[in-house]
Homo-oligomer: A and B are copies of this chain.
Amino acid sequence: MPSPLHCKPLRVGLLGFGVVGSGTCAVLSGNRATITARAGCAIDLTHVATRTPERARAAGAAGVVLTDDPLALARHPDIDVVVEAMGGTDLARRCVLAAIAAGKHVVTANKALLAQHGEEVFAAAQAQGVSVAFEGAVAVSIPIVKALREGLVANEIEWLAGIVNGTSNYVLTQMRDEGRSYAQALGEAQALGYAEADPSLDVDGGDAAHKLALLAAMAFGGAPRLADVHVEGIRHLQACDFGHAARLGHTVKLLAVARREGEQIQLRVHPALVPSAALLARVDGSMNGILVKGNAAGVTMYCGAGAGSRETASAVVADLVDIARALRGGGSPRQIPALGFHHEVQPVRTAAPLEALRLPQYLRVPLADAGAARQVREVLAAHGITPVQQDESPQALALLTSETEEWRAAGAVQDLARQPCVAAPPTRLRVEALA
């Protein structure tokens, strides 16, 4: 192998100098010697497109060409790879497609872009014979894309389940461990910079749905199918749900689940009870954790930071090194397909209707008076639901059911909400055994 001194550097153009862009710049320069030794050639940040050039200069991006025109940079002849770190889905999409059209490889951590426009972007890249890498788009620094696309490539994936949104996990952890209300916990997360001023994308499950669409495409084939993901957020959870859950041997997490059911695939993001003894129950604060069940590997688990500038940059730079190594080896970075499949194994699987779901349920029913609990059990019995475990307080009856159909559980909750013995609308959460 030639010494790296005789090897052409990989020339990187960076679009955006916010959290991800500045982290990428810092990691490339701070760890330069090690990255060069591992890649086999230098990875040079040569161009940056940003609206805040002074910020980029201050951050040590001196020596690179600065511009405020991302589209021009995306097509720049002196660049081998474009790193899209702008965020958003409109200008980012046009820049990524322009870079691909100009024959550039693309690295992005933009989950919204790929979940919504992945089919178009990946098709364009395939037609041009360039690579679109996105390790940073799914689980920050956890190399889960590499695990699914390469490490677990020998497996039929049966299911995957993960905590893939750090903000909502921080909120849920504060509610459980500090007894905070949802509003208090969210306020703290915003004060700490873990949550945006508008937290909707995080707490309503949208961000987790973007990531799940990408994970499922790598696990089962097909394009990312955001529209097929059933999404529920965490706004309706109350601190008391964590107490009930704990006494019932569980904790509440916002889960992203993709599960193969015959020729269909379940795609869902919702808060769920998981057994307290499960490793995933201990993935707390702003951490992310993902379980993958393969028919050869069994269950493997991946955990790491759920947010962060350098943490995301770790994944972005890993994608750059993959590209540098492939080019240096005389091959094509396209040797590994963006989503892991060179061709579909079979007609793309359809989404399983939520109605087909059959899981144990957690119900918390606010009680109007002393005798109410008995009446609640009678209503449930009338719907064919028998509690397998209960935790009663003067205010509420919380219980776990055996496996129950969605329609049956939803119907019982509607019926209960109408009963005089029930003081307020019940809360229903699904229970995931993670097995």
Contacts and interface: CB of A to CB of B under 8 A. Distances in A.
Interface stretch (A111-119, A191-199, A295-303): A295-303
Contacts of A153: 35, 38-39, 317-318, 321
A146 interface: yes
B152 A342 contact: no
A37 interface: yes
Contact of A141 (B37, B277, B300, B308): B300
A151 B156 contact: no
A283 B294 contact: no
Given A37-B344, A150-B321, A331-B331, A31 B303 contact: no
Interface stretch (A8-16, A56-64, A333-341): A333-341
Nearest to A277: B282
Please classify how large the interface on chain A is, using the bins under 10, 10 to 19, 20 to 34, 35 or more: 35 or more
Interface string A131-159: 00001000001110011001111111000
A315 to B, nearest CB: 8
Interface stretch (A44-52, A249-257, A322-330, A424-432): A322-330
B37 A345 contact: yes
A379 interface: no
Given A155-B314, A314-B154, A314-B297, A38 B321 contact: no
A332 B40 CA distance: 14
Interface of A: 1, 3-4, 23, 27-28, 30-31, 33-35, 37-40, 126, 135, 141-143, 146-147, 150-156, 221, 277, 279, 282-283, 294-305, 308, 310-311, 313-318, 321-322, 325-326, 328-332, 334-337, 340-346
Given A37-B342, A143-B151, A300-B304, 12 more contacts: A4-B343, A31-B295, A34-B155, A35-B153, A146-B146, A146-B147, A151-B318, A154-B315, A279-B283, A299-B305, A325-B336, A328-B335
Top 5 nearest A-B pairs by Cβ distance?
A: A331-B331, A329-B335, A143-B151, A154-B317, A141-B297
